[in-house]
A and B are shown apart, each in its own frame.
Chain A
């Protein structure tokens, strides 16, 4: 759904303020932003706060590069749901003649990249994707909890500073029986509430849906909302009227368990769920709520961030 023109106007204005304050650095491509030193410092503190909220779970930490095995990507059925958001990686492997043709294309301003063959990797669309093949097989009795952080790519160029094409997601992923997953979700619902309260953000929880593609996608959206499989914690960034999702809680049922052959210790297909913290978005929500002068943020907010 296209955003309201008034929202986009507010988003552009706020983006310009963030750039003028040195928090974001434009690159010439909509939705691709550098981060200034202070922005990055705040983001690191937000990330550390997520660590503290999840610390008692003893999650297995995994860190992957922001590229994903193409076979994992194919297996995940991402292209069925979100072909419009995918980013694939291509590289040159021709001879001298092909090299000359490539350079000629660059000079002539043609779509030179069209002739580059794909590689074995794609850009990571969500931080949890590399986790599922890594936990394939039979789970321990308590299932697993995995902690991941990755830059993610979504092809959705926008002037909204909160809709970046490349951004960091910190996630906890639960892979277990349906009952274990349900209990874990309830715990994180409470924690997410405490998390935004600690940062003194004006946040609320909403039932949400993913931007599934096409006619099949319409059915997926209806199913997802009816079954309340996705929740978002939203807070104002560009606009108070149209707040932005800063945290999402997703229940995949047995989708990934089935695709990647993950089973519980009694042989049933595992269910999975993840909570994703949009680190740039939470950071932006902090600047929106408390202003650009970090030294004047409320004492409580400064304290939980270690400022």
Chain B
């Protein structure tokens, strides 16, 4: 599995534990809209904090936007930008 795949798996794990989605993250396409899948405002804060813990990052203020957490792909690209991983 490549880095991008591992990263997406890690994101799915965090989603499963913290995002309280209406559906299992394993059944979600990378591009699927997480808000459509039931991600609420308060859950998105839990998700953000859990992602920071797991990937040892801190989302800068410019990323504290709704779009940054709108899909697995969006989260992955934010994490890649912050960790300098070029997948």
Which residues of A pack against B, CB within 8 Å? Answer: 77, 80-81, 215-216, 218-220, 222-224, 226-227, 229, 253-255, 258
Q: In the complex, which of the residues A216, A226, A229 contacts B45, with contact meaning CB atoms closer than 8 Å?
A: A216
Check if A223 sits within 8 Å of B61, measured CB to CB. Answer: no
Distance from B60 Cβ to chain A, minimum over Cβ atoms (Å): 9
Which residues of B pack against A, CB within 8 Å? Answer: 20, 40-42, 44-45, 48-49, 59, 61, 64-66, 69
Q: In chain B, what residue has the closest Cβ to A217?
A: B45
* C-alpha gap A223/B20 in the complex (Å): 16
* C-alpha gap A203/B45 in the complex (Å): 33
Q: Secondary structure of the A side of the interface?
A: helix
Check if B42 sits within 8 Å of A222, measured CB to CB. Answer: no
Check if A220 sits within 8 Å of B40, measured CB to CB. Answer: no
Check if A255 sits within 8 Å of B64, measured CB to CB. Answer: no
CB-defined contacts of A220 to chain B, threshold 8 Å = 41-42, 45
Check if B20 sits within 8 Å of A229, measured CB to CB. Answer: no
Q: In the complex, which of the residues A81, A218, A258 contacts B20, with contact meaning CB atoms closer than 8 Å?
A: A258
* C-alpha gap A77/B20 in the complex (Å): 16
* C-alpha gap A219/B48 in the complex (Å): 9
CB-defined contacts of A226 to chain B, threshold 8 Å = 66
* C-alpha gap A97/B59 in the complex (Å): 50
Q: Which 7 residue pairs are nearest across A and B when measured between Cβ atoms?
A: A223-B41, A216-B45, A218-B64, A219-B64, A226-B66, A253-B40, A220-B41
CB-defined contacts of A258 to chain B, threshold 8 Å = 20
CB-defined contacts of A216 to chain B, threshold 8 Å = 45, 48-49
Distance from B49 Cβ to chain A, minimum over Cβ atoms (Å): 7
Distance from B52 Cβ to chain A, minimum over Cβ atoms (Å): 9
Q: In chain A, what residue has the closest Cβ to B39?
A: A223
